[in-house]
């Protein structure tokens, strides 16, 4: 009885079943990557010098890329602060939409600044498999 109802109704096509399942699998991959954020790449430990040889990089190219990443990080940080100032101005003028948009753009710019500085730290200290705790220790802990 349910077979002929399934042929008439075709609920899988109407509900876009396959796309929903694929979207759910993609979201589960993202959640799993966030749950493993602290120990990303520990299974694939590689030596920094091996990768330098593999990609045929030299110290000059690494230093040039490090300076570019530091410049990008500073630029994103500057733009983020300017967006926060604009968000505060919009908030004072009681305009909610520009305030929220500027605030979220500033958050994105802060995330980009962190990413670029994180990459700069990896190049500067010639490390791989560095996590957020290591980044914090390398940049802010003075001995």
Q: Domains of the chain: which residue ranges?
A: 1-35, 44-140
Residue 99: alpha-carbon gap to chain centroid: 23
pLDDT, tens digit (0-9, with 9 covering 90-100), for 81-96: 999 999 999 999 999 9
pLDDT, tens digit (0-9, with 9 covering 90-100), for 17-27: 777 788 788 88
Dihedral sign computed on CA atoms, order 94, 97, 100, 106 = negative
The whole-model pTM stands at: 0.65
More confident residue, 26 or 64: 64
pLDDT, tens digit (0-9, with 9 covering 90-100), for 104-134: 999 999 999 999 999 999 889 888 878 888 8
């Amino acid at each position: 009885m349910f077979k002929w109802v399934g042929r008439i109704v075709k609920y899988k096509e109407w509900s876009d079943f396959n796309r929903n399942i694929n979207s759910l699998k993609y979201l589960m991959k993202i959640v799993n990557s966030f749950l493993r954020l602290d120990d990303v790449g520990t299974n694939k430990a590689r030596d920094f010098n091996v990768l330098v040889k593999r990609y045929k990089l030299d110290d000059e190219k690494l230093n040039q890329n490090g300076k570019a990443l530091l410049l990008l990080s500073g630029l994103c940080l500057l733009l983020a602060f300017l967006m926060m100032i604009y968000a505060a101005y919009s908030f004072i003028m009681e305009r909610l939409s520009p305030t929220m948009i500027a605030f979220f753009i500033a958050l994105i710019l802060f995330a980009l600044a962190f990413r670029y500085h994180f990459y700069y730290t990896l190049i500067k200290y010639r490390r791989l498999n560095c996590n957020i705790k290591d980044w914090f220790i390398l940049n802010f802990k003075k001995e």
